[in-house]
Every structure is written in C-alpha cells, then in structure tokens.
Chains A and B, each alone.
Chain A
C-alpha cells in the first residue's frame, strides 16, 4: 500500500518535472545563449575602444559584477526586487492581453498615465494621513491606466481598429500629456527644469532594507490575483477562450467584444499600478522624462514569462536583476561595458525565443513547448476581423 502510494507520488513528481522542463526549457536555453552572445559583444567592443589591453576574461568580470550588483547582499537583492516590481505589473498587463489574443503595446502609455494619476492625487493629499493618501493615490493611478487601456479596447470592439496601432499612438499621446502636465499645471514654481512637487505622505512605506517599498508586495498580490482570475474564474476561462479561438467563444455564447474591452481595461489598470508604485515608491515626484523603458521591458517580460503569472514573476526578477546590477558592472569595468549591455542581452533572449523552431531543430529538443505562447491570433490585419465580425 505505502509502496504503491510512493510510486504514485514518484510518478506524479516525475510528471510535474516533465511539465516544468517543457515550459522552462526554451526560456532557459535562450537565456544561456543570450549570455553567450553578450560575451561575444563584450569581446568585440574591446576592439572598438583602442588604448586598452585586450582582456579575454572581461565577459566573466562583467557577469560577476552584474551578479554581485544584483544578488550579492541584502541591499542588492532589495534593489533587484525594487526594479522587478513594476516589471511584474507591466508584464501582467501585457501577458493578460496576450491571453485574450491582444497585443498591448500600450503598457508604456498606461504606465505613464497611471504615474500621472498617482502623482496628481499624491501631491494633493501629501499632508493627509498615509492610510488615506496611499490607497487613494494608488486607486487614481490604477484608474488613469485603466482609462488609457479602455479606449483602445473600446475602439477595437466597436470599430475593429487594431489595438497595436491605437496603443502605439496612445503611447505618444501619453508622453505629450505627461510633458504638458509636468511643465504646466503640476510644475513647481521656481525650479530650473519642469518637476512636480513631492508626494509626501502618499509615499509607499519601506518594508525591507533601505528602500524595499510596499509596491513589491502589491506586485506579488497582483500576480496572485491575475493567476486566480485567469485559471479559477469563469471570466478568466472566457478570456483564454477568446484568445485561443474567438469564433468558438462566440458560438459558446461568450461576448468577445465585451471581453476585449474588459481585458484591455484590466491590463491598463495593472500597467497604471506599475507606474503608480514607481512614482509613489521610488521617485516620489515626476519629471518630464519619467520612466521611459518599463513599458517596453514589460513586453519582454511577458514573452519570456509565457504570459503566465508565475513565469512573469521569474522573468521580471531576471530583468530586474540585470537592471539593478548594470550600474555596478559599468563602474567595475571602468566604463568599458555600458549598462546598455542589458538591453542587448534582453533583445537576444527574445530573438532566440521567437526563433524557437530553429533552436528546437538544432538542439534536437523534443517534448518542449513553443517559445512564445498564445500569440497566434495577434497579427491579424489592421481591420481586426478576429473580433468584430
């Protein structure tokens, strides 16, 4: 009896491991390959800057500095989590869209608008009790972001305007809105360059280390909620069905248009919260050049995390670690390796993920899931017949 049970448990364990390998193999292989490509880039860049001896071990020095800067001690680890938190929320915003067959390139704009909402309310309530100021600022950020996601969702549902184009356009409109708000109504009089006031009591409390703010916790909670929504609720089932096959969803009595509007609004809410925790937890004020990469990094996070909340957390931690460690890498290698190396590695990871078919053939991998999941219905023509007919 116990033997049988043990073998059952063993079998289940083996099955779980197999599933884990199937899901994680390609991302892991892509990461390793991208690090190798990064090393080649480092070696090649030594040839560009003359006047220094050629050092074969430079890639190792760079990667070890990257590691120390992101994981070597409490402060680096907290910094990694702090960089990862907005990426988790942004990654969820993009990933949720992918699940419904939507490509939310607009995370950047929703992020900016969310930050704007949070900073506006935060400044207004900077002397109120934190118990009032923080929730209301977060709520405002989330709602601003949701509104910025609702618009492309509605346009797609009503007229079939493709969300990729409308969200790209809205990203730039968001940029202009921020520039206007920070240099206009929110500008601090007497400052040399446009900058808003501090958020004061609306700042998120520090929970761990020197600057591990409560937004990290919020990101984790959001991942759990999105996971629960997607896999444990009827709405989540509908979202995934619309993403997999909108026609089947319609025949089953679901309303793809409603799901599109709902998903885009929720994605906007998540990206808006992402902007809010950066402004309330890290910068505490806003400048016209606020947070330019989170929105696009979020796309990378969602792709690497296969749109799965757990995968997104790991992907965000990886990219967050690279962002957190990059400055130390640049300093320790005496500016020979700019922090932008992280972007190069990030893009290379994605390149290998997308070319997964080629990698699978080259490495003879079997029983391994595709690199990029649930994105087959995205690139439909701009008239977007997938949903509206």
Chain B
C-alpha cells in the first residue's frame, strides 16, 4: 500500500474515517449501478410526491399506486404476450407486449391518482385518509387477484433489459464508473435522469412551474390572478400518478420479471421521505433517494465484503438492520429540524374552496 495512505490510515480515531472513505471509494465502482437501480423506484415515488405536494395535495397513497401498477404491468404482459409470438430483438429488450403492459400500468397509475384527486379536491375528504384507503385497497385487491391468478401458473412477458455501454466509455479512468452507473441500466432507470432534470427545470423556470408553486403556497392569491386552482391540482395529481406507475412498473418489469405480493416493501414511503429530505425539489429528492439506496447497498457490501483491519471489525459489529433503518432515522432528524429544517409548501394538504362558492 502507498506509504502516504498508510500514514493517514494509521492516525488514531481519525484514521478510521480515512479508512472508511477509502473503502467507499474502493467499493463505489462495483455497487454504483446497483445503487442507482435501487434508487430508481424511490426517486420516482418521490417525484410523484413532489408534483402532488407542490400543488398542495398530500399523497401518501403512492405505495398503493406502486403495488397496483406493478401488478397491472405484469398481468397485462401475461395477457397480451401470447398474441405477439416470438420476442423481437429490440434495444432495451422492448417488445410489443411489454410496451402495451407499460402503457396499461401508466394508465392505471393515473386512474388511481384521479380517484385520489377526486376524493381530496372535489369531495374534500381528508387527504391522508384517502391515501391510506388507496393503500389498503391496492394491497387487498392485488393480493386477492395474485392468489387467484397464480393458481393458473401464468407466463409473463419478460422484462426490460439493461443497456450495455461500450467498454471504451466505462474503462475511462476515474470517471468510467459514473458512465457504468448511469448507462448500464434499463429504460426506466435511464429515463429517470432525464425526468429529474426536466422536472427541476420546468418546476422552477416555466409558467406551469410558477403556477404550480403558487397554488401550493397560496391558492387564494393564485386564483385572484386567474389561475384555475382546482383544474391545476387535478392535472398535477393525475400526471404525478404516471411517476408512481413507472416506479411500480420498474419493480415488476425491469428489476424482476414477475409480481410478488407486497413487493413494494415500503418504497413508496421511503419516496415520501426522500421528498422531505430533498426539500420538495426534484433534484434534491433524487439525491436523497441515491443516499438512501447507498445506505442499504453499503450494508450489503459490508456484509459480503467487509473492509480489512480495525474498520472491518468495527463495521461488521453493526447489525445490517441499522443500514436499513438509517434512511428513516435521517428523515425524522431532518423533519424535526435538527439538521437544516425542511418546510412543506404552505397550502399542502388543505382542500381549496373557491371564492365564488361563498
């Protein structure tokens, strides 16, 4: 080992920090594609949350939308794939059946969001209760149908495959692993990067973004300058359903090729956490999702391939569950304002009464 590095690693206590950083730098190229993959559904769920809450509607039904769309995507694939014969050899493993299934999943996500929008905007029901009901209903119905359908042992339509970036790019020293991370992915994970950037620009630089933020902060003022608050909220909440649908489709059509009961395992809720830690901005939420996914990936990495020496002994003593729980603890700490306070849009969660209605 380099004597300089050896010197830094040898410093008492502080040396452990250097060793830890060294371990992460060492491991990152291997686990980076996994991190982005795991972060994708979380980030998409978070984007769904950002879009809803920026326009003033709380949506805790994201988890339910994800499980429902994961199911619909998989099952529509099962239904339509016999109609198309052999799978063509297209990029990303696209096939007609898979694309139809993806479209069906997105449509389902938007329909469930429409239900949430109707309950929370028109009926003015409590938005958190509406979201809770969507979660219970989605888990019940998908569990029910899955138990029924699995009796027929169906064949799915397969899943999207990863893009293989050329070796010349991924072998570039120092930054090659970044290309590996962002390009050695399936279509949904790659499109996530585009969505995050486009959403960030639109939210803070476009007319739609300004209106959305206005409606989320002060709907009364927004209406007096001629913005249709109700319509804008409907549109945003329904469109946000497509993000949650992509998150669900990622689970059953990109990360795996089948549906399992309860396969979302709380990712919709971690998405909400990423939204809060990312302070209700698309890029922030994406960053938080990456951070959360890294925590879990690091846990696995330490379990399978622990760092040498003192640091290894120290980290191997930490139970793996600590890394699982870390994102939630970080969220609580951020929300409580111990590290840089995160504040929601002012009109978040409040149904809007039109001025003219009084």
Binding site for B on A (CB under 8 A): 41, 45, 48-50, 103, 105, 155, 158-159, 161-162, 164-166, 168-170, 172-173, 176-177, 179-180, 184, 296, 299-300, 303, 335-336, 338, 340-344, 346-348, 350-351, 354-355, 357-358, 372, 375-376, 378-383
Contacts and interface: CB of A to CB of B under 8 A. Distances in A.
A105 B148 CA distance: 30
A375 B147 CA distance: 35
A381 B344 contact: yes
Interface stretch (B26-34, B99-107, B128-136, B283-291): B128-136
Interface string B136-161: 11011101110111011000000000
Given A172-B266, A343-B143, A381-B350, A162 B345 contact: no
16 contacts: A48-B145, A50-B152, A105-B132, A169-B269, A169-B273, A172-B270, A180-B321, A303-B129, A343-B137, A354-B126, A378-B128, A379-B58, A379-B349, A381-B350, A382-B276, A382-B335
A103 B128 contact: yes
Given A49-B152, A164-B128, A296-B136, A169 B144 contact: no
Contact of B336 (A161, A336, A379): A161
A351 B128 CA distance: 13
B129 A382 contact: no
B325 interface: yes
A177 B328 CA distance: 12
Contacts of A347: 133, 136-137, 140-141
B225 to A, nearest CB: 22
Nearest to B144: A340
A346 B337 contact: no
Given A296-B135, A299-B132, 10 more contacts: A48-B145, A338-B144, A338-B147, A340-B144, A343-B143, A355-B123, A378-B128, A378-B129, A381-B346, A381-B349
B244 interface: no
A382 B341 CA distance: 12
Given A49-B151, A159-B337, A375-B126, A170 B144 contact: no
Contact of B347 (A348, A358, A376, A381): A381
Interface in B227-283: 266, 269-270, 272-273, 276
B336 to A, nearest CB: 5
A180 B319 contact: yes
A155 B337 CA distance: 10
B276 A354 contact: no
A164 B325 contact: no
Contacts of B149: 48-49
Given A348-B137, A381-B350, A173 B328 contact: yes
Contacts of B337: 159, 161
Contact of A343 (B124, B127, B144, B349): B144
A191 B272 CA distance: 37
A379 B350 contact: yes
A350 B135 CA distance: 11
A161 B342 CA distance: 10
B132 A340 contact: no
B128 to A, nearest CB: 5
B126 A162 contact: no
B143 A338 contact: yes
A47 to B, nearest CB: 10
Contacts of A162: 335
B144 A344 contact: yes
A275 to B, nearest CB: 19
Contact of B145 (A45, A161, A172, A299): A45
Contacts of A338: 143-144, 147-148
B293 interface: no
A343 B102 CA distance: 26
Contacts of B335: 155, 159, 161-162, 165-166, 382
A165 B276 contact: yes
Contacts of A336: 148
B298 interface: no
A374 B130 CA distance: 15
Contacts of B272: 165, 168
A65 B276 CA distance: 46
B331 A169 contact: yes
B133 A350 contact: yes
B277 to A, nearest CB: 11
Contacts of B145: 45, 48
Find the residue from A103, A166, A354, A380 having the highest chain B CB count within 10 A. Answer: A354
Contacts of A165: 272-273, 276, 331, 335
B329 interface: yes
B58 to A, nearest CB: 6
Contacts of B198: none
A95 to B, nearest CB: 13
A343 B321 contact: no
Contacts of B133: 347, 350-351, 354
Contacts of B136: 296, 299-300, 343, 346-347, 350
Contacts of A48: 145, 148-149
Contacts of A49: 148-149, 151-152
A155 B341 CA distance: 13
A68 B101 CA distance: 41
Nearest to B328: A169
A341 B142 CA distance: 10
A177 B151 CA distance: 35
Interface in B171-224: none
B119 interface: yes
A354 B140 CA distance: 18
A41 B328 contact: no
A62 to B, nearest CB: 12
B5 interface: no
A357 B143 CA distance: 30
Contacts of B343: 382-383
A299 B115 CA distance: 20
Given A176-B325, A177-B321, A338-B148, A351 B269 contact: no
